[in-house]
Structure 1
Amino acid sequence: MRENMLRFHFTSDDLARVRIASGPDPMWETMLSAHLVNELHGARTFGAWRAQVVADLPRLALPYLHLTPSRGYSPDFLTPPAGTTDFVDGLDGVLFTHRDRLRTDLDRLSAQKPVSAWATDLRNGLVKAVDGLGATMTAYHSHAIEPYWTRIRAAVDVDLMVRARVLAARGVEGVLSSLHPTVVWDAPVLLIDNPTVDRDVHLAGRGLRLVPSYFCWRKPMTFADPELEPVLLFPIEHGVSLVGAPAAADAQAPLARLLGRTRAAALQALVRPTTTSGLARRLGASLASASEHATVLRRAGLIRSTRCGNRTSHELTALGYGLLSSSPS
C-alpha cells in the first residue's frame, strides 16, 4: 500500500454498520472553523466569512482558539465521539470529559506547542478551568457559528440528499468511493491521501460514522486516537455561501409575505430544534398557538415533528432550511 495514507480496514460487519450523520455536527464545525480563524492565510472559500468573524471576535473566545491551532493536533475531547446535531448537548459532552482524557489530550497538545496556564489548569481538571472552557466555547460558537447555522445546515442537507441517491443506486461501497477526490475505496480498505499521517485503523466490527462537514476543507479527517469511535469527517461542496446571510428580521420579511409574520417567525425559530413549549416561549405565544403554527409548517413539509412521551420536538426539514437560506435580504 502507498505511504502517507489514512487507511480504514473494513470487515463485512463494518460495511453493514456504516452510518451517515443526519446533519452537521456543531462541535466539529466549531473546531474546524476555529482552525480557519487561526490560519493566517486562510482558504479562499472561507475568506469573507473569516474576515467577518475576526473583525469583532470577542476576547472571551480567544482561549478556545488557543486549543485549536490551524495545523497539527487539536484535542479529541473537543468533539465528543458520540456525535450530535445540538451544540448544547455537545458542550455537555465536552465539559463532562473524564480527567484522564483531558490530561492525555492536553499533554499531546503541549508536546506540539506551548500552552497557557489556563490550559494547564484544564489539564488538571480544575473546576474553574472547566467552567472557563464552557464559557469560551460558547462565546466562540455564538459569534462564529450560530449566526451562520441555517446556511451551514442547508449546505450539508444538499450533500446528504446526494449521498442518499448514491446509496440507493450504488449501495454503501458507492458512497465510500464517492466521498472526496482524496478518497479511494479499494475493498476492503478505504484509503485517504494524507501527507501528514500514515496510519491504519482497523474497524473490527465497530463500523464507521460518516459526517459531512462545511468547514472541513483540506482533506477528510478523523480522531487522532484510533481507540475512539470510528468517524470520518469529509468536506462538502460549498454551493451555499455564509457571507451575506440575512439577519433574522430581514430574512423574515419576504417569508412573512408568503407564510404570515408569526409563521415565518416560527420557521426561523426552529433553526434550533425545540419542543412545542420551547417554540411558544421563543415566539411569546400560547402553547395552543405554537402547536397550530407547527402543524401548518409540518403539513407544508417545512418541519418534521417527533413525539417522545408527552413531548413533541420540531426541527426544520431540508425544504425548510432551503426556504430560509434562499430568502433574499
Structure 2
Amino acid sequence: MVAIGLSAGAVARVRFALSCLWEVVASVRVLRDPGQHAIHLPWVNRVQPRLAEAGLVSTDSGLLWQLVPPAPGYLADFLNPPPVGLAPDLGQELAVLRATPPRTVRAHLDLYPGLRPPALSALYADPEKGLHRLAEEIEAYWRLALAGDWPRIRALLDAEVFRRARRLAEDGAAGLLNDLHERVRWEDDALLINQRHCAAPDVPDGSGLVLVPSVFVWPSVLSIAAGDLPQLAYPARGVGALWECPPTAPDALSAVLGRGRARLLAELGTPRSSTELARRTGLSPAGVSQHLTALRAAGLVVTHRQGRSLLSSRTAVAEALLTASA
C-alpha cells in the first residue's frame, strides 16, 4: 500500500497532465507480458514484429527494454519526469529526461535487483551518454509503435480529462479521487494506492499531485511518490474499444456528404455522445458538433438526452442511405 499525503492544501494543487513518456514506458511493460493486457493484443500483434526487427524489444542490448522490467518489477522514476500540461510533446519530455542529474540516474539504478545487464552498467558508468542513447531509442520506439496510433490515443485521453473535470465540478475532489480506479481511494487526508509490491513515503503537505490518464497502464495503476511532485498514472475509460476496427463509410456516401459526416453516420449504429464520437473518429469536438448539426438539419441524425448526456443516433433515412451506397 502506498500512502500519498494529501491535505486540503495539497488537494487544491491536484492537476491533470498528458504524457508521451508514460505511454512509452507503460506500453513497453505491455510488450513484456501481453497476456496480462489482453485488451492491447491487437496493438501488440501489429507492432511487436517491427520493434523486434529494429532491436528495441526482447533484447539484452536494448536500454529501454532493460529499464522497463515486467510487472511488478521496479521502474526507475527518472523515466517519467512530471508532465507539464495537456499538450504533450515527446521532444520536450525527452529534453527533460536527458537533463536528469547523473546522481539521480545512479540512485534509481541502485534500486534494481540483481546484477546489472551490460546496457544498464553502461548507463550507470556514463549517465549523460546513456541518457542520450535512451532518448534515441525512445524516439525510434515512438516512431515504430505509437506515432501512427497517437491521434486516436490522444482523442481518448482528451475525452478522459474532460470527463474527469466534469466529475470534479459536480462531486468535488473526493468524488474525483475515489472514482479513478478500484485500487485508489482518498481518506483521512491521504491517497491510498493498493500496490502490494511498492512502498513509498507520504508526500509532504502542499506538494499536490499530477493525475496522468493513460492507455497502456491498464488494468492497473502506476505511481511515483519520490521527488517534489508525485504522479499517479491510471487507465483512461474507453480503452476497451480503442483497437476496434472502426466502421468504414461507403466511398459513394463520402463523396456526397463529405468524409467526416459519412464517418459519423457509420459510427452511429448505436447512440453515442459527441465526446465519444470525437474519440472514435479523431475529429475535434467542435468539428463533431458542427457535422451533427448539419446531419440533424438534413434528417439523418436525431439527438436525445439520457441522464446528463446527449446521445445521437441514425435515422431510418440515414440507414437507407448507408445501405444503398454500400
TM normalised by structure 1 equals 0.69
Relative to structure 2, which stretch is displaced further, 234-243 or 62-71?
Answer: 234-243
Instruction: Tell me how far apart the structure 1 counterparts of residues 129 and 190 of structure 2 sit (CA, whole Å).
Output: 44
Instruction: Give secondary structure in 2 for the equivalent of 1:242.
Output: coil
Aligned partners of 2:178 and 2:184 also within 8 Å? yes
Q: Return the offset for 1:203.
A: 3.4
Instruction: Give secondary structure in 1 for the equivalent of 2:35.
Output: coil
Per-residue CA deviations over 1:196-233 (Å, capped at 9, x if unaligned) read: 1244423311111111111112422212x523411111
The structure-2 alpha-carbon separation of the partners of 1:200 and 1:119, relative to structure 1 and needing over 3 Å to count, comes to closer
The answer for the alignment partner of 2:56 in structure 1 is: 61
Instruction: Tell me how far apart the structure 1 counterparts of residues 185 and 172 of structure 2 sit (CA, whole Å).
Output: 15
Letter in 2 for 1:159: E
The answer for the alignment partner of 1:39 in structure 2 is: 33
User: Is 1:103 aligned to residue 133 of structure 2?
Assistant: no
Per-residue CA deviations over 1:52-90 (Å, capped at 9, x if unaligned) read: 111221434241112111221122111112446111111
Q: Return the offset for 1:258.
A: 6.2
The answer for the alignment partner of 2:149 in structure 1 is: 148
The structure-2 alpha-carbon separation of the partners of 1:115 and 1:198, relative to structure 1 and needing over 3 Å to count, comes to closer
Instruction: Give secondary structure in 2 for the equivalent of 1:54.
Output: helix
Question: What does 1:302-317 correspond to in 2, within 5 Å?
Answer: 317=284
The answer for the alignment partner of 1:171 in structure 2 is: 172
User: Is 1:12 aligned to residue 13 of structure 2?
Assistant: no
Instruction: Tell me how far apart the structure 1 counterparts of residues 152 and 28 of structure 2 sit (CA, whole Å).
Output: 18
Aligned partners of 1:60 and 1:135 also within 8 Å? no
Aligned partners of 1:82 and 1:229 also within 8 Å? no
Instruction: Tell me how far apart the structure 2 counterparts of residues 181 and 46 of structure 1 sit (CA, whole Å).
Output: 20
Question: What does 1:64-79 correspond to in 2, within 5 Å?
Answer: 64-71=64-71, 72-79=73-80
Instruction: Tell me how far apart the structure 1 counterparts of residues 236 and 66 of structure 2 sit (CA, whole Å).
Output: 26
Q: Gaps spanning 5+ residues in structure 1: where?
A: 262-301, 303-315, 324-329
In structure 2, which of residues 43, 49, 56 is the aligned counterpart of residue 49 of structure 1?
43
Instruction: Tell me how far apart the structure 2 counterparts of residues 255 and 79 of structure 1 sit (CA, whole Å).
Output: 42
Instruction: Give secondary structure in 2 for the equivalent of 1:222.
Output: strand
Instruction: Give secondary structure in 2 for the equivalent of 1:7.
Output: strand
User: Is 1:86 aligned to residue 89 of structure 2?
Assistant: yes
Per-residue CA deviations over 1:214-270 (Å, capped at 9, x if unaligned) read: 1112422212x5234111111122154236479xxx99x898976699xxxxxxxxx
The answer for the alignment partner of 2:22 in structure 1 is: 28
The structure-2 alpha-carbon separation of the partners of 1:256 and 1:118, relative to structure 1 and needing over 3 Å to count, comes to farther
Instruction: Give secondary structure in 2 for the equivalent of 1:97.
Output: coil
The answer for the alignment partner of 2:307 in structure 1 is: none
User: Is 1:207 aligned to residue 208 of structure 2?
Assistant: yes
Instruction: Tell me how far apart the structure 2 counterparts of residues 211 and 318 of structure 1 sit (CA, whole Å).
Output: 21
Q: Return the offset for 1:320.
A: 5.9
Identity %: 28
Relative to structure 2, which stretch is displaced further, 141-150 or 119-128?
Answer: 119-128
Q: Return the offset for 1:37.
A: 0.6
Relative to structure 2, which stretch is displaced further, 88-97 or 187-196?
Answer: 187-196
Q: Return the offset for 1:100.
A: 0.8
Aligned partners of 2:77 and 2:226 also within 8 Å? no
Aligned partners of 1:20 and 1:211 also within 8 Å? yes
Instruction: Tell me how far apart the structure 2 counterparts of residues 91 and 179 of structure 1 sit (CA, whole Å).
Output: 28
Question: What does 1:110-189 correspond to in 2, within 5 Å?
Answer: 112-125=113-126, 128-189=129-190
Instruction: Tell me how far apart the structure 2 counterparts of residues 228 and 217 of structure 1 sit (CA, whole Å).
Output: 26
Instruction: Tell me how far apart the structure 2 counterparts of residues 116 and 320 of structure 1 sit (CA, whole Å).
Output: 50
Aligned partners of 2:7 and 2:205 also within 8 Å? yes
Question: What does 1:256-267 correspond to in 2, within 5 Å?
Answer: none
The answer for the alignment partner of 1:233 in structure 2 is: 233
Instruction: Tell me how far apart the structure 1 counterparts of residues 120 and 193 of structure 2 sit (CA, whole Å).
Output: 32
The answer for the alignment partner of 1:284 in structure 2 is: none
Letter in 2 for 1:10: L
The answer for the alignment partner of 1:285 in structure 2 is: none
Letter in 1 for 2:149: Y
Instruction: Tell me how far apart the structure 2 counterparts of residues 256 and 80 of structure 1 sit (CA, whole Å).
Output: 46
The answer for the alignment partner of 1:287 in structure 2 is: none
The structure-2 alpha-carbon separation of the partners of 1:74 and 1:260, relative to structure 1 and needing over 3 Å to count, comes to same
Letter in 2 for 1:52: R
Q: Gaps spanning 5+ residues in structure 2: where?
A: 261-277, 292-326
The answer for the alignment partner of 2:313 in structure 1 is: none
**Rg bigger for which structure?**
2
